[in-house]
Amino acid sequence: MGAIRGPRATDHFPAELRSCHPHVAFDATFQFWQQGSDQATFWTTRQEITAWADQVTARYCVTQAGNAENEINTSIANGVRVRLAVGPQARAAAEAFLEIDRQAALEHVRQRAELERIRYLRESVYSRPDVARSCWLCHHPDQLNAMLDIDFEGIAEKFGDVRESRFLVIAELIGDFLGRLEDGERRYLVGQLGQLFSSYDRPDLAEQLEAS
């Protein structure tokens, strides 16, 4: 932020600044030098400082108050200084958000691992009778006679087409990737995919994609 002209007296004012989590804010106290006593200039300067600092803190969790404070104090001119404080309720709310994020990330990893396990069983075990028999016998070494009653060939017929499962995995990966993009990035990538469909003489797919 560039220098803001203003008095050679020290002014202080409080402000509430956003954090990266909704409804969780920093409590800020600003100090800056003001020249003169013009109130209009004072309020304009105050609004500019607060708006700029709010954009900085919006990238931080309240548990990172020190980092946010350092960025503001080392980037802003005019002798402006800020002190960031975090109330116990704001800190507790942020920690709850972080725990939710951790649990969501863990659940995502679990789901991906389960999907990979299912894909492996379908493509490498159930679709191949010889492997399926060996796998079954490995887990039931004392039940050879029971194994003879299992129709592994019939099972393989149901799971033999592995292309479908591969396509489902690819579709899920693309969907997961698109879901993590910003709206503008997502629209751009979907537009590029529509052009790709058209280049392969599938304008119908491009139209369906645009309509979705």
Give residue 7's pLDDT: 39
Question: Residue 9 above 70 pLDDT?
Answer: no
Number of domains in the chain: 3
What are the CA-CA distances from residue 185 to residues 25, 177, 179 (Å)?
28, 11, 10
- The answer on 81 and 21 residing in a single domain is yes
Do 170 and 188 belong together in one domain? no
Is the confidence at residue 203, as pLDDT, over 90? no
Residues 142 and 101 in one domain: yes
78 and 21 share a domain?
yes
Over pLDDT 90: what percentage of the chain? 34
Q: Is residue 3 part of a domain?
A: no
Let me know: does 53 contact 25? Beta carbons within 8 Å: no
> pTM higher than 0.75 for the full model?
no
Tell me, yes or no, whether 15 lies in a domain. Answer: yes
Residues 159 and 212 in one domain: no
Confidence (pLDDT) at 198? 86
Instruction: Answer yes or no: do 172 and 126 share one domain.
Output: yes
Question: In degrees, to the nearest 5, what angle opens at C-alpha 124 toward C-alphas 119 and 130?
Answer: 145
Is 2 within the bounds of a domain?
no
> What is the Cβ-side half-sphere exposure of residue 96, based on CA atoms within 13 angstroms?
9
User: Helix, strand, or coil here: 67?
Assistant: helix
Asked if 79 and 102 sit in the same domain, the reply is no
Q: What is the pLDDT of residue 168?
A: 60
Domain assignment present for residue 44? The answer is yes
Say if residue 100 is in the same domain as residue 166.
yes
- Whole-angstrom Cα distance, residue 67 to residue 185? 29
Which of residues 43, 66, 86 is at a domain's end?
Answer: 86
Q: Tell whether 140 and 173 lie within a shared domain.
A: yes
Distance CA 156, CA 139 (A): 19
Q: Could you give the CA distance from residue 104 to residue 110 in angstroms, rounded to a whole number?
A: 10
pLDDT at 17: 96
pLDDT for residue 93: 95
Regarding whether 60 and 74 lie in a shared domain, the answer is yes
Residue 120 has pLDDT above 80, yes or no: yes
Q: Are 60 and 28 in contact (CB under 8 A)?
A: no
The CA-to-CA distance between both ends of the chain, in Å, stands at 42
The pLDDT assigned to 6 comes to 42
pLDDT-derived band at 4 (thresholds 50, 70, 90) equals: very low
Domain stop point among 32, 52, 86: 86
Q: What is the pLDDT of residues 147-160, one digit of tens each?
A: 888 888 888 877 76
Residue 1 lies in a domain: no
- Does 51 lie in the same domain as 113? no
25 and 60 fall within a common domain: yes
* Domain around 195: 181-212
* 40-58 residues labelled b (16+ CB within 10 A) or e (exposed): ebbeebbeebbebbbebbe
Structure tokens at 172: 């899920």
Q: Residue 103 domain-assigned? A: yes
User: Residues with Cβ < 8 Å from 10, sequence gap 6 or more?
Assistant: 31, 32, 33, 34
Q: How confident is the model at residue 88 (pLDDT cuts 50, 70, 90)?
A: very high
